[in-house]
Structure 1
Amino acid sequence: MGVKLKVCGITELEDARYLAGAGADYLGFIQHDESPRYAPPSLASDILQWVHGPTPVGVFVNDDADTINEAVGTAGFEFAQLHGQEPPYVVDQVDCPVIKAIRVRHDASSGQLRNLFERYEDTADYFLLDTHDSSVWGGTGESFNWRVARELSGDYPLFLAGGIDADNVERAVDTMRPFAIDLSSSLESAPGQKSFEKIDTFMEAFQAAQADLEDTSYAPALILTPPPCPIPPLSLAQTPSLTTPATSAATAARSSRRS
């Protein structure tokens, strides 16, 4: 299974339909009315009636669970992305799968990030890492040090956001191996308005990154051929009886976690 693609900041039907045709897996609709990419539930609902394929995601900032659930029902969102400082009990009260966003400071350590993930791992279904900016909640267009979070992508279903574009998506995929790539401003001609040309350029780079990932992930089995050696024939006394049952045993352990 390859890396998924989520495009956020949808405000226009034409953009949503173009992205659906281009192969986006998730479309994000900002539910924070202070954002220039704000798409109220009624607008999102109107758009989604004419778009099929991608999973619709409502993106919320510091709303209570009742507000989130009402918007989810009105718009028809299938996922809720909580991009603020929502406590775990709010995440737990949301009626649909939740993507919990964690904003990464420039001096964050992998241990600090893991502590935040562990705080939400019993209530969130997915995580999203974005660059911290004290002036805005998202859409910064800036990346963070992906290597501090590399090991987390092996333990959690992770959306990677923050400054990803056609020029660095291959490095992002190779470094992080995330569940999904999330982007918004790098595909825009203006806030809330997607550029079809930028979408096409990005999709070409994204598909190339996917192909490279599949190539590096494939490791053919190594078949070792032992050197020839003489095998003495068995005497009748040494020949195994056809009535002697052959037995074998195998054990396997598999751990699972909520995803």
Structure 2
Amino acid sequence: MALKAIVKVGSVTNLSDARYCAGMGVDMLGFDINPASPEYVNPLKFQEITGWVAGVKLVGEAHGLSEENIRAQLVQYELDCLEISDLPLLESLKHTDLTFIIKATTEASLNTAMTLAKNTPAVAYIFAELNNQLSVKQVVSANSEVPLLVGYDVSPEQVERLLASDNVNGFALKGSQEVKPGFKDYDELADMLEALEADD
């Protein structure tokens, strides 16, 4: 299945999500590598999940971690990309072999992220998380030189309008916990991926 935009599914905690999303053609799977997070995926579970999927980039979501803790975690995970929201970390981590996603949650942090990305080749994407401090209007008017992903509060009905803006290149979606091992409710995720399915 081909999608009409770049798609990252984050907060993946189980094999069901990983296999479903990879099969649907998403570009990236994100895993929370902060041990203090309720969505944390430890290195062993990460290996077990990612061993069953292919053709997707693996993203470590490192929000809330210090540089020292991030470096300690990187030794334990085989990642393609690192997602951070603490912007000063980019300067100290940019010389790793990874590419970066910068997460922005306010208009100010989005503007800072775009400036940093302009001067940092390792930044592959900016992820603008919609909330009461960052609106669709602000994101659509952003002029980013690197691909801009929008999430999580996006409905299937908004997909075409956002892609038509020229400034939005893709979407960040979110995985969820299994009802029980092997059993998942994919309704919300499936609706978004169906809206993003490329026309034949």
TM-score, normalised via structure 2 length: 0.78
TM-aligned CA deviation for residue 38 of structure 1: 1.6
Query: Equivalent of 2:32, from 23, 30, 33?
Result: 30
Structure 1 CA distance for aligned equivalents of residues 84 and 69 of structure 2: 12
- Of 115, 119, 139, 1:118 maps to 115
Q: Give the letter for the 2:43 counterpart.
A: P
Aligned amino acid, residue 73 of structure 2 = A
Per the TM alignment, residue 154 of structure 1 is displaced from its structure 2 partner at its CA by 5.0
Supply the AA of the counterpart residue of 1:114: N
Deviation at 1:159, TM superposition (A): 1.8
- Count of residue correspondences: 193
Contact 1:69–1:95 (8 Å) recurs in 2: no
Long gaps (5+) in structure 2: none
User: Which stretch of the first structure deviates more once superposed, 47-56 or 113-122?
Assistant: 113-122
1:101 counterpart SS class: strand
Match of 1:18 in 2: 20
Aligned partner of residue 70 in structure 2, secondary structure: helix
For residue 150 of structure 1, report the CA deviation from its aligned partner. 2.8
Match for residue 94 of structure 2?
92
User: How large is the RMSD of aligned CA atoms in angstroms?
Assistant: 3.1
Are the aligned partners of 1:165 and 1:183 in contact in 2 as well (CA < 8 Å)?
no
Structure 1 spans left out of the alignment, 5+ residues = 133-141, 212-259
Matched, 1:163 2:160: no
- In the TM superposition, what are the counterparts of 1:1-259 in structure 2 within 5 Å? 2-104=4-106, 108=107, 113-123=110-120, 124-125=122-123, 126-131=125-130, 144-175=134-165, 177-184=167-174, 188=176, 195-207=185-197, 210-211=198-199
Structure 1 or 2, whichever has the larger Rg, is 1
- Identity rate, percent: 21
Is the Cα contact below 8 Å between 1:8 and 1:28 reproduced in 2? Answer: yes
Corresponding residue SS for 1:81: strand
> CA separation in 1, counterparts of 2:184 and 2:93?
30
Q: Tell me, in whole angstroms, the C-alpha distance in 1 between the residues paired with 2:22 and 2:57.
A: 10
Cα deviation for residue 189 of structure 1 reads 6.7
Which structure's relative contact order is higher, taking Cα pairs within 8 Å and 6+ residues apart?
A: 2
Is this contact kept in 1: 2:63–2:85, CA < 8 A?
A: yes
Give the conservation status (yes or no) of the 8 Å contact 2:127–2:150.
yes
Deviation of 1:67 (Å): 3.3
Helix, strand or coil at the partner of 1:52: coil
